[in-house]
Amino acid sequence: MRKAAAVVIVLALAGAVAAAVGGTLVWRRMHEPYKGFDAAAQFIEIPAGAGAAAIARRLQEAGIVRDASTFRAAVWWTGQSRQLQAGEYRFDRPLAAVDVVDRLARGDVYARPLTLPEGLTIAEMAALYESRGFGPASEFSAAARAPALVRDLDPLAADLEGYLFPDTYALPRSTPASRLVAQMVERFRAVYGDGLRRAAREQGFTTRQVVTLASLVEKETAREDERPVVAAVYRNRLKIGMALQADPTVVYALRAAGQYDGNIRRQDLALDSPYNTYRHPGLPPGPIAAPGEASLRAALEPASVSYLYFVSRNDGSHVFASTLAEHNRNVRRFQVLYFRR
């Protein structure tokens, strides 16, 4: 009996030692950085609803963890099996299995930047959205036909033209166009905040009128110092009932009619469109592009000048005039004679 008891004790001790050694090895493997891929970076997509076992297999196949069992042990060790989140992840250096688990539990998905500059229309944004690989242009365009998102700001809006704020957005690969559009509208609301809204009310402008005027400013000049001056020209014209005669509105109308080829001809100025400010007085019916913050502010904080005219110097800047005679001289100098040379 004594021998049998001794054997049992020895076996138990051996088992305990083996378990301790095995546990130590597993613990070490969970915490040991590993990189099993040769590329500078490895991307992996974790599908929604995937369990720890399926995720472990994907990570092992991608060379992100040494083996599936080590990852599953790390999931058990950290107690985060229910926190692992779907999405695209980017790995570019050796990581321990517990650190991989932590990244997936935080939902630290890879976000790609999408820059949508000032002055774009919905159609141009949609084309850029597609060209950068985020999805079909048609999905963006469809998402932008959601005037309910700005109904409180603009009851007349038929779509979101002018209200998709130009900026750089960081987007996970699976981001739907509708979510991006909602983010852009929220960004517009943040920029066009209480101060600008109050200024608009005090000056007798609706949000739609402010955004429309700002879109003209945005399309006319990219120079920070010129935006308030261009805004002043248009506001001065509005004040005396003078036609705005803004070329960008003609371009917008031509594009809507499918007739724009990159040039404006004399006959185009007679195009029968409510957006043609050569034919129709006042502001066009709505925004013709997405203005940035500087143009929104310029629309409500125009320069104190008497100018009614401006013409391009052909270097990105403009020369301004208060009288038609002065303007005609500027046109001759910077357009007629310039192009003759």
Residues 186 and 243 in one domain: no
Q: Is residue 10 part of a domain?
A: no
Same-domain pairing of 208 and 282: yes
Q: What is the spatial distance between Cα 58 and Cα 84, in angstroms, rounded to a whole number?
A: 13
Query: Of 298, 251, 295, 290, nearest to 273 (Cα)?
Result: 251
Residue 197 lies in a domain: no
Which pTM was predicted?
0.80
**Nearest to 118, CA basis, from 4, 224, 228:** 224
- pLDDT by 10s per residue, the chain, length 341: 455 554 444 434 434 433 444 457 777 888 889 898 899 989 888 888 888 899 989 999 999 999 899 889 988 888 888 888 888 899 999 999 889 899 899 988 888 899 999 999 999 999 999 999 899 999 999 999 999 999 999 999 999 999 999 999 999 877 899 999 999 999 999 999 999 999 999 999 999 999 999 999 999 999 999 999 999 999 999 999 999 999 999 999 999 988 898 888 889 898 999 999 999 999 999 999 999 999 999 999 999 999 999 999 989 899 999 999 999 999 999 887 666 66
Q: Both 36 and 80 in a single domain?
A: yes
User: Can you tell me whether residue 329 is helix, strand or coil?
Assistant: helix
Residue with tokens 């013709």: 288
- State residue 238's pLDDT score: 97
User: Looking at the structure, do residues 83 and 25 belong to the same domain, yes or no?
Assistant: yes
91: domain CATH number is 3.30.1490.480
Same domain for 143 and 223: no
- Residue that finishes a domain, picked among 63, 85, 106: 106
Number of domains comprising the chain:
3
CA distance 65 to 89: 14
User: Residue 141 belongs to what domain range?
Assistant: 111-191
Contact 312, 334 (CB under 8 A): yes
At residue 71, φ and ψ (nearest 5 deg) are -65, -45
**Do 57 and 132 belong to one domain?**
no
Beta bridge partners of 310: 320
92 and 131 belong to one structural domain: no
The pLDDT assigned to 12 comes to: 43
* Domain termination site, one of 139, 165, 191: 191
Per the domain annotation, does 5 fall within a domain? no
**Paired strand residues for 249:** none
Directed axis angle between helix 68-78 and helix 97-106, to 10°? 60
